[in-house]
Amino acid sequence: MLLSPDIKEVQVTEESQNKIQDTHGRRSDTWSSIFWQFLRYCLVGGANTVIDLLTFNVLLWCFPMNNLLVLVGCNSIAYTSGAASSFFLNKYWTFGKRQVERGLT
């Protein structure tokens, strides 16, 4: 075979083929991991909306009122409860496993 002096023939060994397959396997595992993490993130967002609405409605049911400032206060409490649940669920459930895998706990 004629080759120019700058081009060298590359010999593909079994070890290099295994490395290529391992890289492909890790890449598909990464995409699978990202998909499930995104799904958990979406579920946490939905749960936070439910927590916010339930908290606000329970507060209105327990303390019926017509005062605008009290309604804003109830809404603030409900929003804060949703934000707090979002923080803890995302920290420990959505993103917590990934930090453990990296050894960053």
Domain boundaries, given as residue ranges, for the chain:
56-97
Q: Is the pLDDT of residue 92 over 90?
A: yes
pLDDT band for position 28 (cuts 50, 70, 90): confident
pLDDT tens-digit map of 42-52: 999 999 999 99
- CA–CA dist 43, 48 (Å, integer): 9
| pLDDT of res. 15 | 66
* Averaged pLDDT of the chain: 82
- Angle of CA points 67, 72, 73, to nearest 5°: 95
CA atoms within 13 A of residue 67's CA, in its CB half-sphere:
6
Q: What are phi and psi of 65, to 5 degrees?
A: -155, 165
| pLDDT of res. 98 | 54
pLDDT tens-digit map of 44-73: 999 999 999 999 999 999 989 889 999 999
| pLDDT of res. 96 | 85
